[in-house]
Amino acid sequence: MKPYKGYLGTIEFDETDLVFHGRIMGIRDIFTYETASAEELLKAFHECVDDYLEFCAEQNKEPEKPFSGKLALRTTPEVHHLVSRAAASDGKSINQWVSDTLAEVARKRVAEGSTKVRTRAH
């Protein structure tokens, strides 16, 4: 599912009740949606995000931003040293090298996951 107003949602299917359901990802509040048809799933997700933003406004609360672009990472000194050397060899800062490397690996993993889901569905 594509982001809506910066938010992503999960999609699950309940075989017992024959419904799709999900929740807004990356926020502490729990906002869920449910629908009986795939056609209505996107609409339900959008309404859920709109409800969350309305709830925050009513509570005079700043809505959480699910993905700020800041990612804290802890590792061993050895890995830190290796990352530093790899970044330098590519002529990049550690931050840029880690960001580029994570993006590359994540795109591959997401593409593999999409292929697996399509394969299972056929």
Claim to verify: residue 45 and residue 18 sit in the same structural domain? yes
Which residue matches tokens 């580029």? 100
Q: What does the pLDDT read at residue 72?
A: 83
Does some domain include residue 47? yes
The number of folded domains in the chain is: 2
Does some domain include residue 97? yes
pTM (two decimals): 0.61
Contact 33, 48 (CB under 8 A): yes
Claim to verify: residue 85 and residue 113 sit in the same structural domain? yes
Does some domain include residue 89? yes
Does some domain include residue 63? no
Q: What does the pLDDT read at residue 36?
A: 94
Comparing CA positions, the residue from 42, 37, 39, 56 lying closest to residue 8 is 42
Claim to verify: residue 51 and residue 17 sit in the same structural domain? yes
Does some domain include residue 64? no
Q: What does the pLDDT read at residue 67?
A: 74
Q: What does the pLDDT read at residue 121?
A: 46
Supply the range of the domain harboring residue 40. 12-58
Which helix (H) or strand (E) covers residue 103, if one does?
helix 94-121
Q: What does the pLDDT read at residue 47?
A: 97
- How would you write the pLDDT of the chain (122 residues) with one tens digit per residue? 789 999 999 999 999 999 999 999 989 899 999 999 988 999 999 999 999 999 999 999 999 987 777 788 899 999 999 999 998 999 988 888 998 999 899 899 988 876 554 444 44
49 CB-contact burial (10 Å; exposed 0-12 / middle 13-18 / buried 19+): buried
Q: What are the φ and ψ backbone dihedral angles of 89, each rounded to 5 degrees?
A: -70, -25
